[in-house]
Structure formats: structure tokens, C-alpha cells
Chain A
Amino acid sequence: MTIAEELAKRQKKISVAEFFEKNRHLLGFDSKPKALLSAIKEAVDNSLDACEEMASEIMKKMERLKKKGKDISKLKEMLREILPNIEVRVMKASDRWEIVENPGPEERMVGEVYLKYGKIVDVVGMKLVSKSKEQILNSSRRALQYEFEADGYRIYVKREPAKEIPFYSVFLSSVKEGEKTVTKRFSLRTHVSRYRIWVEDNGPGIVKEQIPPIFGSLLYGSKFHRLKQARGQQGIGISAAVLYGQLTTGKPARITSRTNEKEPAICIEVQIDTLTNKPEIVFEGVDEHFKQKHGTRVEIELEGTYSINVAKFLKRTSIVNPHAQITLITPDGKKHVFKRTSTKFPKEPKEIKPHPHGIEMGILMRMLRTTKSRTLLSFLTSEFSRVGANSAKHILEKAKLKPNMDPRSLTREQANVLIKAMHEANLSRPPTDCLSPIGAEALKKSVYAELNPEFVVTTKREPNVYRGIPFQVEVGIAYGGNIKEGEARLLRFANKIPLMWDASACAITNAVKSMDWRRYGLNQPGGQGMPSGPIVIIVHFLSAWVPYTSEGKTAIANYPVIIREIKLALQECARELKKYLTKKYVMERKKRKMFIFLKYSDFLVDALSNLLDLRKEEVGKVIKKVLKERYGDVYEGEREVKEAS
């Protein structure tokens, strides 16, 4: 049973909050670093999917217009505009300071000042006194004093520059208590393990009515049991991140979206009613400053830990999504841009019907219950791929079931017999054209751009089938250049999503480790395990249904056929790498030799010209000619190097 089903079944009895607490590990929120990354992952997945869905709509439209012989230049323009541009920001929530009376257990919040690197970025719940909000926000100076009025107090904020971390003292002055003026001291409280993530895309945007259910209700929009190569696959989705943020910080998620250039962006703050699993709109308004013509921005504040894994994750995402440009702004303000290396959208994966060989009991039961077919025979032929009338009859004969039986009436025992017959039936393989690989060339280009290696080899295997489900493997090996020496790094991907955890349980890791890399000119202590050298190995597994080992979706199950395909692809790449390394080795040896002869040849010129009473130039010319004839291909460059040194 999948988590989705579990959730569906259990949410009636317990609150979603309770369920979430119990199943954090399945949802990817079991540790602070993982939680932050999972939230980003869900948001980025959504952004990529949204852009791709819109692109495929546009492409379909283009096809239609093309057939009619109409102008499609406008649509082409649209397609270019929808190439994903995703901006991810992670901000320390400690950048957001709450003004609290200091000291005291009963802190009373009087307002919020949003600061970033000493600059005030927003003020909430307070009336500004000394300057207008615009003046403050547009000010480029960092260490200013500001005055606010809140809750009857007049407050001013002053930076204390002596402190290493920007620290702000808030002074309360001129509090009128009767006739007396009392001065009270306030300070700013920080949240160290709180972060605010911000993911903005240039996708189609989300219409206002859709925002609350998508973000404010667990399990909305189910992707489960669709046999289609998809990122999320099980669709616990973004709402889990919203819920997590809400549970850890008490803050709603803020969604800003625009679907039409002519209208302003709408801004909705939404949270989940943890008892009813219904969205609650906390705030609704417009955002005049939203810079995208169309697109969506998700902001979630959550408890988490920022780690280098965020950058790694986005970099890897960019490798397998060459058509996307991803920008990361880290909590300390550093900007990483993972560039787009292709302007072509990947082919849209097709949804396929399940193949009888891969069907599981739970799914079969559900299909039997929900089918529109009136007979078992038509159920088999219409709900499964590769099942014609003949093979359907054959299956039913074997299962000793009547073809005209109502599928809804099957008992569990009968279904058991049926599934056995289905698994044993002699059927052709499922269609494999439903997959959308990155492609060897695009992958290669992308790897060059992201890893900056000296050499890259990529390959794509033909699709294969495990348990009736089509899958395909793409592999790349990058060598040298910016890649560091040491144990080879393995980047695992499934359906264009980087797999960040549980490497040791994964079929990809096992395939890599079981190969004899020494045969391909690499070091591998003991002939098994990870090879070493300045190498990055990239394995992309794509399938209509990725067989994860657990609901955590972190490792691919060890089916022999999957391991075999990965190994074959790796071997193909490794052979090319070996060719390259051999050639490189030969050239380097030749260069080294050449260098030795070259450094002695000047002395030879001296000696021979003295012994023969010839001019040095004359002798030098002759010796140079011989070296050039024999080492022409490495001669020139080396000479320059030598002269320069």
C-alpha cells in the first residue's frame, strides 16, 4: 500500500497533523537538513512540471496550426518564454527580527521588522514615524536609525555595529504613562534554525481558485497510479511542505501567482486546517511588485538547516534538466546560476496502461472496483496494455473465470487467481515509447556546463522492461578538469530528480560497485566498490513507475534486469573513457619524452657546434628538424611552455 492510500484511508480517523508527525520519515521531513531540501524539491518539481505542461499544450497547438498552414511564430515565441527560469532563495529567518520587550518570559510582540544584511526589507504591524516605508526600503545605507510607532509606543531601531552579527537594539521611548515619559528597552529576537524558502518560476501561473486546494490540502491532485514518467510519482506534493512549515513555525505559506500579463499578481497566504485537511486563507491581496509576466512564487517559512546539499541538489537537477535555468541565492547572499544548456523542451512522456506482468494485488483490486467495464473480458482488454481479446480469453480460461463476469463482483480469492494468470500470460512487452530521456548529446552538453570536466562520455540504452513496466537508463562519465581526485562521485537520478540519500541501498550504486573498473584503466581497490580518480558517474533511471525501495523515494530497488541495464550502459561509457585515457596517456608520455630531449638539445647544440666549429644556429636547425619530424604533434606547445618558463 502506498502512503497516499494509507493517508487517504487514515485521514478520516486522525488529524493530518497527527498523521504527518507519525510519517515524517516517509515524507522526507524527518531531519532539519532534509526538511529544508524536501520543501525546495517539491516546489522546484512543481515549477518544472508546470512549465513543461504548458509547453506541451503550446506544442500541441502549434501542430494544429501548422497543419492548417497558419502562422506559428507567436507560439514559438511563447515556447521560448516558458523555458523554465527558476529562482530559489533560502533566507535565514533570523534575518527577520521580531521586536520584543527585553527581557522577559512574557514577550509581547509589537511588530515585525524584516531585515536583510542590515537593511530593512519590510515592516509589518507598525506605523512608521521618522520616514515613509518607501524611504526606508529604498535606502541603501545599512546602519540607519529608524523610528516606528506600535501599540502606542514609539520605537526606534539602531544598529549596534560593534557586534559581529548584525544586532539591533530597539529602544522604546516616549511611552506615555499618564504624564510621565518612561524609556523602556526592547531588543530583536532571532530564529536561528528558521529559514524562509522562496521558489519563483516563470510558469503559467495558478488561477486563484486552485491555489488554496493545491497548497492548503494534503493529497490534492493525485498523481498516483498513473503509469507515466513523472517527477513526483506519488504526489504527496507541495502541501506537505506547507504543513511542515506551519507545524514548525506557525506561519502560513505565501503564494504569489500571475496567469495573465494584464492582471496584477494575486497573493494568498494559506494554511491547512489540521483537523479537516481543508485550506484556510489567512490573507488575500495583490502584489504589485511581482516581476514575472506569468508565474508562481511559493514562500514557506520552516524549521530547517541549510546545507551544501541544497546547492548540490539544484546543480544536479540542472544536469538532468538542461532546458531549465536555476538560480540559487544562499542564506549568505551568494548567487549560484545553473545554466540552461538546451532550448528544447524534452518530449512529453506518455501515460500508458499497466501491463499484466507488473500488476499488484492492491492496484488490481482498486481497478476492479473503479472500472467502467461491464465484463471481465472488456476490463482486461481496455484497462491493460498488450491484452487483445485472444490473450484476455486465454487469461480468463486459465483463471477459470467467466469472461462476462462483472469485474466489481470479484472476490479477493478470485482476484488472486486472476493476478496469477495475468503474471503468467504470454504477452508482448509493454510499449516503451512512453519515456522521455534527456538524450546522450543533451546530457553531455549539460555535464560539460555544470561540472566543467576535461572529458565527458554519455550513452543511452534502449528501453527495457521490469515486471511489465518500461524503463530506460542513461549514463554519463565525466573525467578530469574541475573534478577532484579521490573516490569517484556518483550522481543518481530517477525521472529527472536527483536522488540524494540512501546511496548504499540503491540499484544504481550496486551496479557501479559491482563493476570491475580496473579493466577500464581506473583504480579500484580490490576490484570492487567505487572506483577512484577524478571522476563523476551520472546514472539517470527513467521509468513509467520507479520502483523505489521505500516510500521515502530515495533508492531504486535491485531488480536484476535494472542492474544489468545500468552495468551495460556503464560499460559502454567506460570503454570510451578507457580509449580516451589511453590516448591521453600515450600523448603525455610522448610529451614527457619530448620535454626530456628538448631540455638536453640546447646542450647538444653547444657541444656539437664547438666540436665541429659550426655556428650554433646551423646545428640547432638540424636537431630541431629531427625532433619536429618525430614529435611534431606535441612539439610546438612544449617549446612555448619551455620558453615561457
Chain B
Amino acid sequence: MCMKAKERLRKLAEEVFEQFENGENPYIEIPIRSLRNVRFDPEKGLIMMGGEKMKRYFLNVSHAKKFMQTLMVASFVKKLLDEKVTVDMRDLFYSLKIPIPGTKDNVFNEQNESDPIVEDLEVTLDLLREEMNLKADKKGAMVGDMVIVDGGDEIDLRRQGTGGWSIPSKVEQDVIQFKEHTAKFVLFVEKAAVWERLNEDKFWKKMDCLIVTGKGQPSRGIRRLLHRMRYELGLPVIVFTDADPWGYYIYSVVKQGSINLAFLSQKLGVPDAKFVGLTTQDMHKFDIPKSLGIKLTQQDIKRAQELLKYEWFKTKEWQEEINHMLKEGIKFEQQVLSNKSIRFVSETYLPTKLEQKDFLP
């Protein structure tokens, strides 16, 4: 794998250098990572990247810095591969926060400049960042009826206390192996607080499942892990988020992939994932007073309207739910269920919905 990455980096540099030698204005061709260049593949149920590419020129005032940054990151990655070390995105940023002589500028000033350049390189070279010895920040936890091997250490996910096993950024086969399990499905929970409640109530034991939280939008590591559990272990993935446009989008990212990382959808997506809740329609089913809802903000409404237009939200059920939310003009947080009783979520809400298979597609 290391050789493949090195070769591709070298090829990129050779192409650039050759253009310089020919006296041309050198450029790098980079697939476009925006809504413009993604499409929803209904067959696969995934957001896939299109074929559009942009050319990043050196001798173009608005491209020059990014061109230089791209090659600086490429060069940095080569050093990582040469030295066989792995660093995280923040390390990369600090390593390349180099002052540019004669200016107040740096090669990179903020991490939000260097992160997209890494993504550019990933799509350009068709390499995962993990293959370039880069790792993302880890966030997210998992517990349940399963034993895994993580970096050679055997870990029993039934005995992880209140915090759970924290999911590393690299979850490929060479780092994480699944050993034994009795779980029947995986429940992905948006909010860490709700996940903690489920863990405390030993929900996973009762329902025979694995519970995972992403603490908001799930990282690539978590999504990759969900993907692996779905396809290597055959476990269905069920998603539990807030009843608001942002929660719904988290679901769609787990299911169909994201626009930004569309090129990775095949490796990260779980197209047959199901959505258990929360929905705004649950207010009727579980008799949740409307007064517990939060009024939709302008942004919420705008985002909801965008969701309505996304190809992958165009099922009857989702259109109904989103329109219902817009009609009522409210959203609910997962914790709203605590209003009934503290254990309502683990003892009544989830068991009822799971049993009735009351899912959104």
C-alpha cells in the first residue's frame, strides 16, 4: 500500500515538473468535490462523484497558493511514508505552518486550509488519507456484545464502563478485527448524552445490539466501521437522531454518503440503513406535547427545504416527514423523551419502534 501511494505522489510531481521543463504553465487536475459534481445513484443507493475535474494552475494568481500548498502537502506525505510515521491532520497543519519570507503569510494559516488540500490529494491520487499515513481526529464510542482486536489488543466491548471503547480514526482490517459477537443490529445514536443513557440502562444487553455514537456528524472512521459491520458481519444499521434537518442529514450521510466525500461513498456508505427516529410525527404516536418542541429557525427552514430537493430524500415517507415538520414549524431533540420518564427512551420508545419496525427508509 505504501508503494502505491509513493508511486502516485511521484507521478504527480513528475507531471508538474515536466510541464515546467516544457516552459508551460503547470497545472494539477483535481476532481471537483462539490454538489455540482455529485449525483445520487438510485441503484446503489449512494451519492457518487461525477467526472468533472478542475485544473489548478501555478501561474494563476488565484490558484498559485493552492498549487504550492498541494505540492507541499504531497511532499510532506512522502516524508511520512519514507519515515513510516502516522500523524493526524493537526500535526500536518502545524508542520506546514511555515512563514513565507518577506510576507506575513504562512504556507498554511489555519487548519481549515490544510484539510481540504488533503481531501484534494485523496481524490486526485485516489488514495485514502489513511493510506497516506494521516489520521482524522477520533471521536465516537461503541459498546455492545462483541469482542474485537484493536492494534493487536483484544477488547471486550461488553466491559467498557460508562465511556465505551473510543473508535480510532483508522479502522481498516489491518488495525481492527472483529472476533466474536451475538449482536443482531447496530444502533447509531447522534447525541453522546443519549448514548450514555442507553449504555447505563444496558440497552445493548436487553436488545442484543451494538450502540455507537458519533457525537454529531460521524467521522470517517465511524462510518467506515459501520460499513464494515454491515458488510462483513451482516448487521443491519439503524440510526437514531434529533428530529431536525441536521439530524436527518446525519442519517443520510451514514446511509448514502456525503457530498464532500462522495468519492468514498462506496467505502463508507450503508445504503440499507434505516431511520428509527426521532421524527416529528412521533409527537402524535407517543403523545409528546407540541410545547416541548423548538420553533424552527430561518436556517432550519432553509435547510429543510434543501433536503426536500435532494434526490435521496425524495421517498414518499421522507417528503411527508419533512413537510410535516415544516407544517408544524417545530423540531425535537432526542432528549425530549426524558419528559415522559428518564428511561422512557430505553424502555419504551426504542423497543416499541424497533418491534413495530416503525422506520423511515
Q: Which residues of A are interface residues toward B (Cβ below 8 A)?
A: 592-593, 596-597, 599-600, 602-604, 606-608, 610-612, 614, 619, 622-623, 625-626, 629-630, 642, 645
Contacts and interface: CB of A to CB of B under 8 A. Distances in A.
A599 B100 contact: yes
Contact of A607 (B21, B61, B71): B71
Given A608-B71, A610-B78, A611-B74, A597 B64 contact: yes
A223 B17 CA distance: 81
Nearest to A610: B75
A622 B22 CA distance: 9
A310 B13 CA distance: 69
A604 B19 CA distance: 13
Interface of B: 9-10, 12-14, 16-17, 20-21, 23-24, 58-59, 61, 64-65, 67-68, 71-72, 74-75, 78-79, 98, 100-103, 105, 107
A603 B17 contact: no
Given A629-B23, A630-B59, A645-B102, A606 B64 contact: no
Contacts of B20: 622-623, 626
A599 B10 CA distance: 24
B103 A599 contact: yes
Given A603-B72, A626-B23, A608 B64 contact: no
26 contacts: A599-B102, A600-B65, A600-B67, A600-B100, A602-B101, A603-B72, A603-B98, A603-B107, A604-B71, A607-B74, A608-B17, A610-B78, A611-B9, A611-B12, A611-B13, A611-B71, A611-B78, A612-B13, A614-B17, A622-B20, A625-B23, A626-B20, A626-B24, A626-B59, A630-B59, A642-B101
Contacts of B107: 603
Contact of B75 (A607, A625, A629): A607
B72 A642 contact: no
A602 B67 CA distance: 13
Contact of B21 (A593, A600, A610, A622): A622
Contacts of B101: 599, 602, 642, 645
Contacts of A606: 72, 75
Nearest to A641: B102
Nearest to A614: B17
Nearest to A645: B102
A608 B102 contact: no
B124 to A, nearest CB: 14
A5 B13 CA distance: 91
Contacts of B105: 599
Given A608-B13, A612-B10, A626-B23, A600 B78 contact: no
Contacts, number: 75
A644 to B, nearest CB: 9
Contacts of A619: 17
Contacts of B103: 599
A604 B23 contact: no
Contacts of B21: 622
A610 B102 contact: no
A602 B101 CA distance: 10
Contact of B59 (A597, A608, A611): A597
Contacts of A602: 101
Nearest to A603: B68
Nearest to A613: B10
Nearest to A642: B102
Given A600-B58, A600-B100, A626-B20, 8 more contacts: A602-B101, A604-B68, A606-B72, A607-B72, A610-B79, A611-B12, A622-B20, A642-B101
Given A606-B75, A611-B75, A622-B21, A600 B9 contact: no
A592 B67 CA distance: 18
Contacts of A600: 58, 64-65, 67-68, 100
Contacts of A607: 13, 68, 71-72, 74-75
A600 B67 CA distance: 9
A521 to B, nearest CB: 22
Given A608-B17, A608-B71, A611-B74, A596 B64 contact: yes
A401 B124 CA distance: 102
Given A623-B20, A629-B23, A645-B102, A604 B13 contact: no
Contacts of B72: 603, 606-607
A622 B21 CA distance: 6
A593 B61 CA distance: 6
Closest CB pairs A-B (n = 6): A611-B13, A607-B75, A607-B71, A600-B68, A610-B75, A645-B102
B141 to A, nearest CB: 38
Contacts of A629: 23
A450 B98 CA distance: 48
Q: Which of B14, B98, B101 has the most CB of A within 10 A?
A: B101
Contacts of B23: 625-626, 629
A599 B61 CA distance: 12
Contact of B58 (A592, A604, A611): A604
